[in-house]
Structure 1
Amino acid sequence: MTEIDQGIQYMKEGKLEEAAQYFTDAIEQDPKNPVHYINFGNLLLHMKDYQRAERFYLKGTELDQEAATAYYGLGNVYFEQDEFEKAKKSFQKAINLGLEEADPYFMLGMTFLYDEQFKLSLPYLQRASELNPDDADVQFQYGLALAQTQQLDRAKEVFNQVLEIQEVHSDAHYNLGVISLFEENIDQAIVHFDKALEIQPDHLLAGNGKKQIEIMLEDNQ
């Protein structure tokens, strides 16, 4: 195991001080290698030390202007601080440099989603869902974007796919309940709200949705 691999292993084990020391030693021994700065940036990002993480990622890009993972790291730094415009540019740069993985597409889509640019989020979340079809969170966020853009039939399909991956997904059931209300299928909506509450008894939205249905049914009697 190389020194840098050992540092990553320490990170996975939660031994952050040991990881920091290994990455520091690696930089001292090979200060021209951008990978060491990127790995230290990843550690600092994990520790929520965003200012220092940004500096290390930027150093990585200075040493290698095509270091896609450095730009991906920068995107995460900016995303965590709600600097969505900077995050978009960084994630897009990582993709343009060939980081053809689900994560940068997913995070770029999430940045648009958090910035309430729902239509712009769709192609990136769709691509992430294609690259990582078995990830419930990726599929769920894609379903949300579809629902936000009123593509309810497709959103319904995706939320059902989420439940195939993760049967106990309260938010997927809640959103299927909301779609059922739009379809005027009250019985199905109640089934989904009940399922969401069974999985997560304190699910406020599902509880409120069920209560509104009960009030509506009482008024119609």
Structure 2
Amino acid sequence: MLRLIIGNKNYSSWSLRPWLAMTALGIPFEEELVPLDAPDFKDRIRERSPAGKVPVLIDGDGVVWESSAILEHLAERFPNRGIWPVEPAARAYARSLAAEMHNGFGALRSAAPMNLWRPIEPRAFPEEAMKDVRRIVRRWGEARARFGAGGDFLFGTFSGADAMYAPVATRLRTYAIEIDPVASAYVEAIHAHPAFKAWKEAALKETGSLAEDEVDWPVVKRV
């Protein structure tokens, strides 16, 4: 049985990505949550991964860390579960989108940390973060126009690309960032997916708070 080690569901955007992909696409696994603020967090994670970060996927004697690497590993292990689109052009585009997410958009991630229990409230963002938003929305529109006819997600049906961008969808909603109708519909599709709803339901039951992910600190706003 695969074992996925993750951090707090309210905050850990990188943990959400493989968890959501595996849950949405029916890949069985066991979950182990290590709180990000645990005093021994680094030690516990380094026992399993040299990076000392979550997520970590344990597959028998194999260890895979970094969300993008986990998705590629799953695509090899479960080629028929739909991690990537079947059609070559769509698959290439999906992988490129996922890689762009993994390596970019740092300004948006810094200005708008994932925080699922924060009420939906707008706040001002630096121009660099808004440039990231515009770039993401443009990519979403391109994917939906070229490959999204078969459903509500970037490539029609849910895929690894959607798992990679799901945390962005939460940021856009949490901080009430204005986006176009195509992007808005996509954000709603992510939030309506049963796997994401299960993650968020668990996140809202958590209690530990992290100052670096609470933009209103020392106030912690909760729905």
TM-score, normalised on structure 2?
A: 0.31
Q: State the structure with bigger RCO (CA 8 A, min sep 6), 1 or 2.
A: 2
Query: Which has more strand, going by share of residues?
Result: 2
